[in-house]
Amino acid sequence: MFISNAYAQAAAGGDLQSNLMSMWPLLLMVVVMYFLMIRPQMKRQKEQRSMMDALAKNDEVVTAGGILGKVVKVSDAYVTIEVANGTEVVVQKMSITMMLPKGTIKAI
């Protein structure tokens, strides 16, 4: 009486083209995220790794804590840095953030 009859109807036929068009925003977002976030991060990691591999004695470096010093000894995981005459600090290689041009520490 108050409820109307429900009859079976054919499903709406979504074609392949409309399905592909609905996927475009998602694909576009993935591509943009790759070029804006993932690719630059991979480039920075590659540069950091090559800098750590090229680290040698008498290089002037800056650590993550902001300590400036001259490299005295390099091992596989650690670097010994001279921060003042007769004062040496041992830090992890991963904490070296930047190599300075030669002669920078004398100018400070």
Please give the span between the terminal C-alpha atoms of the chain, in angstroms, as a whole number: 93
How far apart, in whole angstroms, are the C-alpha atoms of residue 29 and residue 47? 27
Coil vs helix vs strand at 14: coil
pLDDT by 10-residue block (mean), the chain, 108 residues: 74 68 90 94 94 92 94 94 94 94 79
Kindly list the strands in the beta sheet with 60-63, ordered across the sheet, starting from the edge strand earlier in the chain: 87-92, 78-84, 68-74, 60-63, 96-100
What sign does the CA torsion over 16, 18, 21, 25 have?
negative
pTM of the model: 0.65
